[in-house]
């Protein structure tokens, strides 16, 4: 993901100034007919967009729901943070409900790691608001309406905390990091300044359909009003669905044995056999999608359809069924049901690059809405749920080595473990194309076009038969941490249950009752995974050369030491925990970590001497264990 060049952002400050409405929101969380907006405003610390070097200091998200009441504001904000990789919040139960003490937003490349406990970020360009800055978070309500009113006269301080606020349809709620004032007579609270000019929070999903074509035959599958069931192109925008609501047949959890099918939730690429005009939809992202080196498995974006894995019984999954008793067809040729769609990408919407030889959309992997988790099932999902936990991640791809064929004969539970927390979909790597590059040398695009294609068959009249795929969503893959990228590069998820750790005795004897990919787990070479990752070597490297300290220098106000390794360790500080406890852990930036000064290669030995520095007052980081097996 990328925000783009600074001059572009500066231009945006000027061009987007003005009324901000619900229609200007890009990132929506939840589904339903009711909606509210959440504005998070850091301007009390950073000032306006112009004051902050062209980087907006106020972001807006939308939330949708059905029913009379929405979740409380604290639950709603935490749900947004869970789904937006750029946004993080931290706080605690104050006795008066949830107290928001930290909120951060990544304004750059989606690489920022937030430590909500230490209230820090790994990049100074990130927006952060914490108690350490001398300000505090205020909960405010703006006048209800289609347009956000940011003037302080239109803003009302909430008299109760976030845990007691339930937004209503059409409302605007503001979390303002800054000072507040009060009336000395009435004690009514109000903001000290106007709220900043708001900007839409960047969405990792498609946010606009720029062009489309599909046959009107889909009207035949419509409701009583004749409205087409699968011909609304806006169905492809936003997050892929994870659950089908209602009491109709098939409603419930979306998974490989029960794909999305409900009316109005998919866009069907229908066209008449023999015609030259193929059905298609063109979707725009609100930012450049980049070929980021930290994208897992080298996958840059994902397309979601409604392909399915075929249950050997021929039946669909229903809520309440034990996924460990349902099994895919053992014949690899019959294990999947799909309709291929051609995928193309473009930076400008004019020059297109096609994945002509695949992979094809609406194929493998089917969408999975919830993580298969027998230890921590979500009781609110449906009565008697014993198998399905939290929501899966649409921004993390499935290992491309997993296929329909490799899932043949497996139970639904076994198949879902191979998702490793992903929501599925078909993943794409844009590195093969001659696309433009950004300032960091990464290829990028902004438009994706998905179309039906020749199935290779002909009908009784001799006309070519086109595929008729369905599209649910497109997603920009989020880059992962250095350690998780190392795991993705060195461990295959299609052969072992390496993503599960069960402590319940009921599951202790099962083959997945272990964790071989954890930071502390010993790898095949007898060295901890964390050490292998820091060194950048494979887990089966017979000679990983464990880090060793070589040289120590104590200055007037600092201490420095050298670590010998096979590579420069400028990124290693995010993987090493310096402290009194002798262990390694995957840590984000914090005050405990040292400053990396540089690395010099010894031409004689081929090793790199990496120099780190720390102030004399904070010497605890020298107490670290870097020996394998300890």
pLDDT of residue 566: 78
Same domain, 513 and 555: yes
pLDDT of residue 216: 52
- Is residue 266, in this structure, part of any structural domain at all? yes
Q: How far apart are CA 124 and CA 55, in angstroms?
A: 13
Same domain, 449 and 566: no
- Is residue 496, in this structure, part of any structural domain at all? yes
What is the phi/psi pair of residue 149, to 5°?
A: -105, 110
Q: What CATH number has the domain bearing residue 185?
A: 2.170.130.30
What Rg, from alpha-carbon coordinates, does the chain have? 26
**What is the average pLDDT value for the chain, to the nearest integer?**
82
DSSP track, 187-227: --EEESSPPPPPEEPPPSB--EEEEEE--GGGGGG--TT--
Tokens of 400: 């491309």
Same domain, 344 and 441: yes
Same domain, 147 and 261: no
Q: How far apart are CA 219 and CA 214, in angstroms?
A: 11
Q: pLDDT tens digits for 264-302?
A: 899 999 876 556 578 999 999 999 999 999 999 999 999
Same domain, 486 and 447: no
pLDDT of residue 332: 82
Helix (H, G, I), strand (E, B) or coil at 257: coil
Same domain, 149 and 282: no
CB of 316 closer than 8 Å to CB of 258:
yes
Candidates 62, 39, 72; CA nearest to 150 is 39
Same domain, 310 and 412: yes
Q: What is the DSSP letter of 422?
A: B
pLDDT of residue 549: 66
Q: Percent of the chain having pLDDT more than 90?
A: 45
pLDDT of residue 360: 96
pLDDT of residue 620: 41
Tokens of 585: 């852990």
Q: How far apart are CA 499 and CA 512, in angstroms?
A: 8
Same domain, 308 and 452: yes
Domain count, the chain: 3
- Is residue 17, in this structure, part of any structural domain at all? yes
pLDDT of residue 208: 96
pLDDT of residue 3: 37
Same domain, 170 and 230: no
Q: Which of 200, 219, 239 is the last residue of a domain?
A: 200
- Is residue 117, in this structure, part of any structural domain at all? yes
- Is residue 503, in this structure, part of any structural domain at all? yes
Same domain, 226 and 340: yes
- Is residue 589, in this structure, part of any structural domain at all? yes
- The alpha carbon of 409 is separated from its chain's Cα centroid by a whole number of angstroms, namely 31
Same domain, 282 and 426: yes
Tokens of 252: 């419930």
- Is residue 1, in this structure, part of any structural domain at all? no
DSSP track, 503-540: -SGGGTTSTTSS-SSSSSSB-TTSSBHHHHHHHT--TT
Residues 6+ apart with CB under 8 A from 56: 9, 12, 13, 49, 107, 196, 197, 198, 199
Q: Which of 172, 200, 228 is the last residue of a domain?
A: 200
Q: Which of 183, 200, 217 is the last residue of a domain?
A: 200
Determine if residue 63 is left, alpha or beta; phi over 0 gives left, psi from -120 to 50 gives alpha, anything else beta.
beta
pLDDT of residue 133: 77
- Is residue 26, in this structure, part of any structural domain at all? yes
CB of 488 closer than 8 Å to CB of 295:
no
Same domain, 577 and 625: yes
Angle at 375 between CA 249 and CA 422, to 5 degrees: 65
Residues of the chain predicted below pLDDT 70: 1-18, 183, 186-188, 190, 216-228, 247-250, 272-276, 494-515, 534, 544-549, 551, 556-557, 571-594, 614-630
pLDDT of residue 496: 46
- Print the domain residue range for 435: 208-479
Q: How far is CA 630 from CA 278, 330, 360, 583, 586, in A?
A: 62, 44, 47, 8, 17
């Amino acid at each position: 993901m990328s925000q783009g060049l600074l001059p572009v952002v500066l231009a945006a400050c000027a061009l987007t100034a003005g009324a901000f409405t619900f229609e200007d929101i890009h990132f929506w969380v939840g589904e339903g007919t009711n909606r509210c907006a959440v504005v998070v405003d850091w301007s009390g610390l950073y000032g306006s967009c112009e004051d902050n070097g062209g980087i907006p200091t106020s972001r807006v998200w939308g939330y949708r729901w059905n029913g009379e009441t929405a979740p409380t504001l604290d639950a709603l904000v935490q749900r947004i943070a869970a789904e937006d990789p750029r946004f993080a919040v931290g706080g605690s139960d104050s006795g008066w409900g949830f107290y928001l003490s930290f909120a951060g937003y990544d304004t750059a490349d989606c690489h920022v790691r937030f430590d909500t406990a230490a209230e820090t970020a790994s990049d100074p360009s990130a927006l952060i608001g914490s108690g350490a800055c001398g300000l505090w978070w205020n909960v405010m309500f703006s006048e209800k309406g289609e347009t956000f009113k940011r003037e302080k006269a239109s803003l009302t301080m909430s008299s109760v905390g976030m845990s007691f606020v339930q937004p209503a349809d059409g409302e605007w709620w503001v979390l303002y990091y800054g000072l507040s004032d009060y009336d000395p007579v009435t004690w009514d609270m109000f903001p000290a300044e106007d709220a900043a000019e708001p900007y839409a929070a960047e969405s990792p999903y498609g946010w606009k359909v720029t062009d489309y074509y599909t046959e009107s035959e889909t009207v035949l599958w419509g409701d009583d009003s004749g409205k087409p069931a699968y011909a609304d192109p806006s169905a492809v925008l936003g997050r892929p669905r994870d659950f089908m609501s209602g009491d109709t047949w098939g409603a419930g959890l979306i998974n490989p044995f029960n794909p999305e099918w409900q009316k109005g939730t998919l866009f069907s690429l229908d066209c008449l056999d023999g015609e030259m005009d193929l059905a298609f939809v063109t979707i725009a992202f609100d930012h450049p999608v980049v070929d980021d080196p930290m994208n897992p498995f080298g996958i840059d974006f994902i397309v979601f359809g409604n392909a399915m894995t075929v249950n050997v019984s021929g039946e669909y999954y229903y809520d309440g069924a034990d996924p460990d008793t349902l099994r895919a067809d053992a014949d690899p040729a019959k294990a999947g049901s799909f309709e291929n769609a051609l995928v193309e990408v473009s930076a400008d919407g004019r020059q297109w690059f096609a994945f002509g030889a695949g992979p094809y959309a609406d194929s493998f992997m089917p969408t999975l809405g919830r993580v298969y988790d027998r230890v921590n099932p979500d009781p609110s999902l449906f009565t008697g749920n014993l198998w399905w936990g939290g929501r899966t991640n649409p921004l993390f791809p499935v290992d491309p080595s997993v296929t329909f064929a490799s899932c043949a004969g497996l139970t639904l539970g076994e198949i879902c473990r191979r998702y490793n927390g992903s929501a599925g979909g078909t993943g794409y790597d844009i590195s093969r194309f001659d696309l433009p590059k950004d300032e960091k040398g990464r290829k990028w695009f902004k438009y994706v076009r998905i179309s039906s294609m020749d199935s290779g068959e002909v009908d009784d009249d001799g006309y070519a038969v086109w595929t008729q795929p369905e599209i649910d969503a497109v997603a920009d893959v989020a880059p992962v941490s250095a350690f998780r990228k190392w795991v993705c590069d060195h461990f295959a998820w299609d052969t072992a249950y390496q993503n599960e750790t069960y402590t319940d005795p009921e599951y202790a004897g099962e083959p997945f009752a272990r964790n071989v990919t954890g930071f502390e787990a010993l790898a095949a070479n007898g060295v901890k995974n964390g050490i292998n990752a820091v060194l950048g070597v494979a887990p089966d490297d017979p000679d990983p050369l464990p880090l060793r300290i070589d040289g120590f220098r104590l200055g007037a106000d600092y201490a420095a030491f050298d670590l010998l390794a096979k590579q420069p360790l400028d990124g290693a500080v995010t993987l090493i925990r310096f402290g009194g406890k002798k262990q390694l852990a995957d840590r984000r930036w914090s005050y405990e970590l040292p400053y990396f000064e540089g690395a010099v290669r010894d031409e004689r030995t081929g090793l790199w001497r990496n120099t780190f520095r720390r102030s004399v007052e904070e010497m605890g980081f020298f107490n670290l264990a870097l020996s394998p097996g300890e």
